[in-house]
């Protein structure tokens, strides 16, 4: 019996909303609040009559803390699920503190205007101190820990697939398979084909910024940064086949390095086809990935935002995408003094997702864990005052829920490793 306020109404939100409505025993009431209310109303119309969950909608600017807090006070939810954009994380956390509501998101804070001098100063200090240059990091949200503790509220950070399920896989491996984990390789394989020469599977701005940034990994207590796409491996994924994958910086490396005791190395690899990479390099070379506004015909435009307007809407890829994803973690370590290697992973089929909730697998693999994280917090199973990443909670209820809500996982006890 829980009431959830969902902020954002894009690709990931749509899946989370469908899943909450399938799970109406827990989510008796939801409110969908986003920038464009017509999108919220369209989903409400689509689901009403097919679910026992009562759905309300609202227009909200998620950068407006006062308006958010007022909405939270009037709706009085048990928790807020932030599936808008990482730019809004801090505003929504501030509003949760003001209104006294638990907080869940799927991606860590990123500044929308990376030329903002106040943000740049802190960013550049962090680059020097920590040694990675990604525009996003956990420091901004971890800094809220004391405030959430004092308010008796839980903030659950990164309840998507990666981060999210990969974080839970890590806690599960540590709890059930290892005395110590030495290395973690997170593999994100999308074997799906949407038939377009170039499109991104989730928000293009966030996706292209992530992929075009330098890669980095954690080894022996420090970050090692490498030029974008400069470490390449091939891996043979179960149910997908052989794919090229590249080492990227990814946000869960930062929290796992802190929360998995004694871990020596953590890397993240994502698969990309050659066509995607060629398009991305070209767009980067001509300046289309820039976040710095340029003046065009008397108007200020941000190149990457203009590009987003030209690219296919990720939400429209669902009907066209065929194939499967295989996402998981290879763990090596010691158990009872013996070396051990396992791969915990999920395989998800784009077309099956589309038939079930009208979305492709990338939105599905993020929206399902977003619902599960919100459920565990709202039910009180994962409540602890403060700001936490998913690997800091007991993984078992989350792992059970993955099997129940559409993302069944497997453990391969003899996987190929990545060199």
Binding residues (CB under 6 A) for ligand NDP: these are: 8-13, 34-36, 39, 60-63, 83-86, 88, 106-107, 158, 160-164, 202-203, 206, 314, 366
Please give the structure tokens belonging to residue 8.
Answer: 């954002």
CB 413 → ligand NDP: shortest distance, Å? Answer: 25
CB 377 → ligand NDP: shortest distance, Å? Answer: 16
Per the CB < 8 A criterion, the answer to whether 407 and 368 are in contact is yes
Of the candidates 287, 293, 209, the one whose C-alpha atom is nearest the C-alpha of residue 250 is 209
Of all residues in the shown chain, the one whose CB is closest to ligand NDP is 10
Instruction: For the chain, give the number of residues.
Output: 419
CB 32 → ligand NDP: shortest distance, Å? Answer: 9
Residue among 151 and 253 whose Cβ is closer to ligand NDP = 253
- CA 227 to CA 284: how far, in whole Å? 14
CB 280 → ligand NDP: shortest distance, Å? Answer: 17
Residue among 23 and 57 whose Cβ is closer to ligand NDP = 57
- Pairing state of beta strands 386-389 and 154-157? parallel
CB 38 → ligand NDP: shortest distance, Å? Answer: 9
Looking at 248-303, which runs of residues are DSSP E strands? 265-271, 294-296, 299-301
- CA 185 to CA 20: how far, in whole Å? 31
Residue among 200 and 332 whose Cβ is closer to ligand NDP = 200
Residue among 13 and 229 whose Cβ is closer to ligand NDP = 13
Per the CB < 8 A criterion, the answer to whether 219 and 263 are in contact is no
Residue among 22 and 346 whose Cβ is closer to ligand NDP = 346
Residue among 2 and 270 whose Cβ is closer to ligand NDP = 270
What would you report as the CA-atom Rg of the chain, rounded to the nearest whole angstrom? 20
- Residue 125's Cβ-count burial label (10 Å; 0-12, 13-18, 19+) is exposed
From residue 99, alpha-carbon distances to 68, 80, 158, 258, 325 in Å are: 9, 11, 21, 30, 39
Collect all residues with Cβ–Cβ distance below 8 Å to 307 and sequence separation of at least 6. 204, 208, 283, 288, 289
CB 21 → ligand NDP: shortest distance, Å? Answer: 17
CB 5 → ligand NDP: shortest distance, Å? Answer: 12
Residue among 151 and 216 whose Cβ is closer to ligand NDP = 216
CB 309 → ligand NDP: shortest distance, Å? Answer: 11
CB 105 → ligand NDP: shortest distance, Å? Answer: 7
Q: What angle do CA 258, 170, 337 make, to 5 degrees?
A: 95
Residue among 34 and 53 whose Cβ is closer to ligand NDP = 34
Q: Identify the DSSP state of 160.
A: B
Residue among 62 and 181 whose Cβ is closer to ligand NDP = 62
CB 379 → ligand NDP: shortest distance, Å? Answer: 21
Collect all residues with Cβ–Cβ distance below 8 Å to 382 and sequence separation of at least 6. 154, 156, 373, 376, 393, 394, 397, 398
Per the CB < 8 A criterion, the answer to whether 386 and 344 are in contact is no
Residue among 315 and 332 whose Cβ is closer to ligand NDP = 315
Per the CB < 8 A criterion, the answer to whether 64 and 36 are in contact is no
């Amino acid at each position: 019996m829980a009431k959830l306020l969902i902020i954002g109404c894009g690709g990931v939100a749509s899946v989370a909303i469908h899943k909450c409505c399938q799970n109406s025993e827990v989510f008796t009431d939801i409110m969908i609040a986003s920038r464009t209310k017509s999108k919220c109303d369209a989903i409400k119309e689509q689901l009403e009559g097919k679910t026992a969950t009562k759905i309300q909608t609202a227009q909200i600017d998620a950068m407006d803390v006062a308006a958010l807090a007022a909405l939270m006070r009037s709706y009085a939810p048990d928790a807020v699920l932030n599936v808008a954009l990482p730019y809004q994380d801090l505003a929504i956390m501030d509003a949760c503190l003001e209104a006294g509501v638990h907080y869940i998101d799927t991606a860590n804070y990123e500044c929308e205007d990376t030329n903002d001098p106040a943000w740049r100063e802190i960013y550049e200090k962090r680059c020097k101190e920590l040694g990675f240059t990604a525009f996003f990091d956990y420091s901004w949200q971890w800094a809220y820990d004391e405030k959430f503790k004092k308010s008796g509220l839980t903030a659950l950070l990164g309840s998507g697939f990666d981060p999210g399920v990969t974080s839970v896989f890590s806690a599960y491996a540590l709890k059930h398979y290892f005395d110590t984990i030495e290395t973690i390789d997170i593999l994100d394989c999308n074997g799906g084909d949407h038939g377009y020469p170039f499109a991104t599977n989730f928000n293009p701005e966030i996706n292209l910024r992530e992929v075009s940034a330098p890669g980095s990994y954690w080894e022996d207590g420090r970050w090692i940064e490498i030029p974008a796409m400069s470490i390449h491996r091939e891996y043979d994924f179960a149910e997908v086949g052989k794919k090229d994958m590249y080492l990227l910086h990814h946000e869960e490396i930062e929290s796992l390095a802190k929360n998995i005791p004694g871990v020596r190395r953590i890397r993240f690899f994502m698969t990309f086809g050659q066509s995607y990479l060629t398009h991305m390099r070209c767009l980067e070379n001509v300046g289309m990935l820039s976040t710095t506004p340029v003046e065009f015909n008397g108007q200020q435009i941000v190149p990457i935002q203009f590009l987003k307007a030209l690219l296919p809407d990720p939400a429209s890829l669902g009907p066209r995408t065929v194939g499967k994803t295989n996402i998981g973690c290879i763990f090596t370590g010691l158990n009872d003094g013996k070396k051990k290697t396992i791969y915990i992973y999920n395989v998800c089929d784009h077309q099956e997702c589309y038939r079930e909730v009208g979305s492709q697998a990338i939105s599905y693999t993020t929206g399902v864990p977003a619902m599960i994280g919100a459920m565990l917090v709202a039910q009180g199973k994962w409540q602890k005052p403060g700001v936490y990443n998913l690997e800091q909670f007991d993984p078992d209820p989350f792992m059970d829920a993955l099997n129940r809500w559409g993302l069944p996982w497997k453990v391969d006890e003899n996987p190929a490793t990545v060199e």
